[in-house]
Structure 1
């Protein structure tokens, strides 16, 4: 029996292209499968961030800015 194919073995560029066709909730779920897939999904999960101009909204933006695994995706 042949081994099952895994998304983790796809080249990063191909996987990123595939993610552009997947809905946000599916990407969110996929990001929970493994650390590798999480790293691949993060740029799309945080492509758009909504925040309100309130103390909690600004605190959330500050937390994203401090988190090294997230702030690298902020433009």
Structure 2
């Protein structure tokens, strides 16, 4: 026996719209969490940041890429 499933164009549109709304919702909350983390770390004084091993110039990079591959706002060159 063969089963034939037919989807109406409206069902596809609703599904696509729901997916886009869900993606926008996730993106909104991720951006909000990112901004809050940057703000929270930015509120710490330099002594506390140094104590946890973070330079103020690294905050954006640290929050954006928590893998630990931080980019410093300034580079120290020793020859």
Q: TM-score, normalised by structure 1?
A: 0.29
Bigger radius of gyration, 1 or 2?
2
Q: Which has the higher contact order (CA 8 A, sep 6+)?
A: 1
